[in-house]
């Protein structure tokens, strides 16, 4: 799940300066769960923009705005409203927003901040447990990620800032290395803690990432 938060409305309004006719795109996947770009939030945004004197030429909410072919298809389906718009407001993650970029030559504006790949703990509670490092080390650490859950991404044990199981950056956050230690101890695998981990290969998630599966077809449709 890609976790997003809503940008302040004033920031959105400023970005739309000079564009009176707006088309709004929401996402039926992550942004719906985050309540930043689902049907309800898109309707709210429409009303707020109209109250500011804007014309909303159309809205669309569909699964996976990040799917570029899907997005282009949705734009074709909503041709009239899309063509009438001066610009597009995208209420989902940065990937979705850039999907819209591929589908139009007109201005595209993000309505959200994209914060992390998150786990849902309960309604409205999201935490980061994986930071997409490209070379998964979970096998060695009892399926608890030190790259993400240790603030410093340390691979060889807790720093001196650990305090009764909490991180030096916040008493609200668990020390990832205390979690790993407890897990490995429970599993009788503390020998894994003793192993020295060499330097991490950051080439494995070099930006921009690109993966092509040769045999799985193109475009997924």
Partner 1 sequence: MTVLIKEHAKPSIQEILEAGKFLVTGEIGPPKGTDIDEMIEHINLLKDKVHAMNITDNQSSVMRYPSLGTAILIKELGGEPNLQVTCRDRNRLAIEADLLFAYTRGIRSVLCLTGDSIPVGDHKEAKAVFDLESVQLLQIIRNMEEGRDSGGNELKGGVKFFKGAIVTPEAIPIEPQMLKFEKKIEAGAQWFQTQAVYDMDNFKRFMEKARKISDKVYICCGLVLLTSPGQIKYMNANVPGVFVPEALAREMEDAPKEERLATGIRIMARQIRQCIDEKLCDGVHIMAIGKESVVPKILEEAGVDITKM
Binding residues for partner 1 (CB under 8 A): 151-165, 168-169, 177-178, 181, 190, 193-194, 196-200, 202
Compute CA distances 49 → 24, 64, 69, 100, whole Å.
10, 24, 28, 20
Shortest Å distance, C-beta 49 to partner 1:
31
Shortest Å distance, C-beta 111 to partner 1:
23
Residue 94's Cβ-count burial label (10 Å; 0-12, 13-18, 19+) is: middle
Q: Cβ distance 200 to 135 under 8 Å? A: yes
Q: Cβ distance 204 to 133 under 8 Å? A: yes
Closer by beta carbon to partner 1, 75 or else 177:
177
Closer by beta carbon to partner 1, 81 or else 154:
154
Shortest Å distance, C-beta 48 to partner 1:
30
CA dihedral 111, 114, 120, 121 (to 10 degrees): -100
Closer by beta carbon to partner 1, 53 or else 160:
160
Shortest Å distance, C-beta 201 to partner 1:
11
DSSP 8-state secondary structure symbol assigned to residue 137: -
Closer by beta carbon to partner 1, 55 or else 169:
169
């Amino acid at each position: 799940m890609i976790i997003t938060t809503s940008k302040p409305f004033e920031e959105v309004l400023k970005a739309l300066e000079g564009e009176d006719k707006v088309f709004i795109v929401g996402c039926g996947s992550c942004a719906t769960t985050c309540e930043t770009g689902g049907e309800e939030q898109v309707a709210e945004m429409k009303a707020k923009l109209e109250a500011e004197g804007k014309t909303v030429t159309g809205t669309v909410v569909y699964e996976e705005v990040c799917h570029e072919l899907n997005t282009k298809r949705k734009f074709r389906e909503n041709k009239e409203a899309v063509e009438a718009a001066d610009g597009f407001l995208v209420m989902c993650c940065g990937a979705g927003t850039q999907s819209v970029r591929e589908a139009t030559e007109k201005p595209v504006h993000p309505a959200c901040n994209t914060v992390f790949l998150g786990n849902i703990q309960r309604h409205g509670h999201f935490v980061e447990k994986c930071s997409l490092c490209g070379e998964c080390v979970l096998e060695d650490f009892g399926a608890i990620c030190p790259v993400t859950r240790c603030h410093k991404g340390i691979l060889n044990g807790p720093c001196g800032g650990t305090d009764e199981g909490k991180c030096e950056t916040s008493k609200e956050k668990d020390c990832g290395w205390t979690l790993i230690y407890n897990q490995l101890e429970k599993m009788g695998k503390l020998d894994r803690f003793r192993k020295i981990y060499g330097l991490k290969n950051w080439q494995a998630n070099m930006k921009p990432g690109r993966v092509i599966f040769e045999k799985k077809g193109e475009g997924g449709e």
